[in-house]
Amino acid sequence: MSTLGDARSGKFADNIAGFGRALRRAGLRVDSARIGLAQQAVQLVGVDDKADVGAALEAVLVSREQERDVFRELFDAYFRDPELAHKLLSQMLPTAQGRAEPSKRRPRVSDALAPQKRFGGGERKPDQEVEFDAAMTASDLARLKHADFNALSAGEFHLVEGLARDIALPVPQVEMRRMRPGTRGSRLHWARSMRHASQTGGELLVLRRMQRSRQPLPLLVLVDVSGSMERYARLLLAFLHAATRLHRRRDVFAFGTHLTDLTPAFRIADTDAMLAAAGAAIDDFAGGTRLGDSLATLRRQHARRLVGRRTLVLVITDGLDTGEPEDLARELEWLTQRCRRLLWLNPLLRFDGYAPLARGAAVLHRHAHAMLAVHNLARLQDLAESLSELLDR
């Protein structure tokens, strides 16, 4: 063991427990059992090398790939050197020249490192799940409604995720070939009309009619899970799962460096369980984006998911594709010829004056029928109305 002391007791054991609580505040699933395993892991590797301690803690405390970046950033900040801590503290304190520079940390990490409020008796209140507060003011709700998903703290993110699950997304309906009894329509339903006439002595007092059946469009969703879409992907998956729960024809895929079928995960009724299943299925989370290769896989292996030319395709990405533009253009042309509408849901539309200048974004902009923003709750609420308008157009 090093001069820092025994990992089973003393200050270092308390630091591991405190670090576990900080991870929990940052949104990671860390309980007392994992903290106990973390202390045992540190005993095995020793505390002489910071890299070994970090690797041991990461192996025990991180259960999902998308949590690794948050863990490493929080580990470096929590177990930093004393001299570096003084330098960071001096940069954070206000000076005579002006305000301190804004922190470049992730909002989840900054929120986890922030001092926790103390309650009566000097005891710290245990970590609790974020719940909707009925006493929240209208200004707070308005701010969260228009706040960018990527700028939310850990607590705000969980609250907004819960609010997003209550937003409805009625998929537009279209008329089918099949007919059913109704009150409107050009064709008469003679069988029902004659049955009704038998009850009135043979008099045709009411003419029953036939009208076309209506059903929602088949839905195909492609969600970008690359590094730049990390926070948007999780929240939009939760939103789509809850908003399209009753949709009979719904296929969902995640794409990063390759295509991942999330349709089996979306059949799970509970949204949290769906997110856990999706996280286990996606093995390229927070990586690069190769939409062209993913669409090629869709064409070769899942072409039957496109129901004739009636399917509504939603592509959720920022358009920062790393593949070849020619391959992407070829696959997008194939896709647009086999669907009713291809809509690009782009979080980068939060910036005023945004233009799709990147190579992949320019190709996607040429082939998509429309581009919509999905970076806050207000935009998600407008999405259903926008879909109907685009289809009517």
pLDDT in tens, 146-188: 888 888 887 788 888 888 888 888 877 767 677 777 766 677 7
Give the model confidence (pLDDT) of 321-332 as tens digits.
988 999 999 999
On the question of pLDDT at 120 being above 90, the answer is: no
Band of pLDDT at residue 131, cut at 50, 70 and 90: very low
- pLDDT, residue 10, reads 54
Identify the top-confidence range among 81-85, 113-117, 263-267.
Answer: 263-267
On the question of pLDDT at 75 being above 60, the answer is: yes
Asked if 266 and 223 touch (Cβ cutoff 8 Å), the reply is no
Amino acid in the structure at residue 283:
D
Band of pLDDT at residue 31, cut at 50, 70 and 90: confident
In sign, the C-alpha dihedral spanning 353, 357, 361, 363 is positive
Band of pLDDT at residue 113, cut at 50, 70 and 90: low
Intra-chain end-to-end CA distance of the chain, in Å:
71
On the question of pLDDT at 100 being above 70, the answer is: no
Band of pLDDT at residue 28, cut at 50, 70 and 90: confident
Any idea where the domains of the chain sit in the sequence? 1-111, 177-215, 217-392
Residue listed under structure tokens 């990405």:
317
Lowest mean per-residue pLDDT among 29-38, 323-332, 346-355: 29-38
Q: In angstroms, rounded to a whole number, what is the distance separating the alpha carbons of residues 193 and 319?
A: 56
On the question of pLDDT at 220 being above 90, the answer is: yes
Torsions phi, psi for 259 (to 5 deg): -95, 135
User: Which is higher by pLDDT, 29 or 306?
Assistant: 306
Q: What is the mean pLDDT of residues 295-312?
A: 90
- pLDDT, residue 238, reads 92
- Fold adopted by 217-392: Rossmann fold (3.40.50)
What separation in angstroms does the CA of 57 have from each of 12, 37, 114, 208, 260? 13, 9, 21, 72, 29
- pLDDT, residue 136, reads 53
Question: For the chain, what's the residue count?
Answer: 393
- pLDDT, residue 121, reads 42
- pLDDT, residue 315, reads 96
Band of pLDDT at residue 246, cut at 50, 70 and 90: confident
On the question of pLDDT at 225 being above 90, the answer is: yes
Q: How many CA atoms lie within 13 A of 226 on its CB side?
A: 19
- pLDDT, residue 158, reads 83
Q: What is the mean pLDDT of residues 53-59?
A: 91
- pLDDT, residue 132, reads 43
Instruction: Take residue 78 and report the two structure tokens written for it.
Output: 């929590």
33: phi > 0 → left, psi -120 to 50 → alpha, else beta; which? alpha
- pLDDT, residue 5, reads 41
How high does pLDDT run on average in the chain? Answer: 79
Lowest mean per-residue pLDDT among 86-100, 134-148, 342-356, 366-380: 86-100
The fraction of the chain above a pLDDT of 70, given in percent, is: 79
* Alpha-helix runs per DSSP H in the chain: 10-25, 32-45, 50-61, 68-78, 82-92, 107-113, 138-146, 154-164, 190-198, 230-243, 263-266, 271-281, 291-301, 325-336, 359-367, 377-392
Name the CA dihedral angle for 101, 102, 105, 111, rounded to a multiple of 10 degrees.
Answer: 130
Q: What is the mean pLDDT of residues 364-387?
A: 89
Q: In angstroms, rounded to a whole number, what is the distance separating the alpha carbons of residues 239 and 244?
A: 8
Asked if 266 and 241 touch (Cβ cutoff 8 Å), the reply is yes
Name the CA dihedral angle for 118, 121, 126, 130, rounded to a multiple of 10 degrees.
Answer: -50
- pLDDT, residue 97, reads 40
Torsions phi, psi for 35 (to 5 deg): -65, -40
On the question of pLDDT at 91 being above 90, the answer is: no
Lowest mean per-residue pLDDT among 209-218, 285-294, 320-329, 362-371: 209-218
Q: What is the mean pLDDT of residues 81-108?
A: 47
Is the pTM higher than 0.75? The answer reads no
Torsions phi, psi for 209 (to 5 deg): -125, 165
- pLDDT, residue 133, reads 46
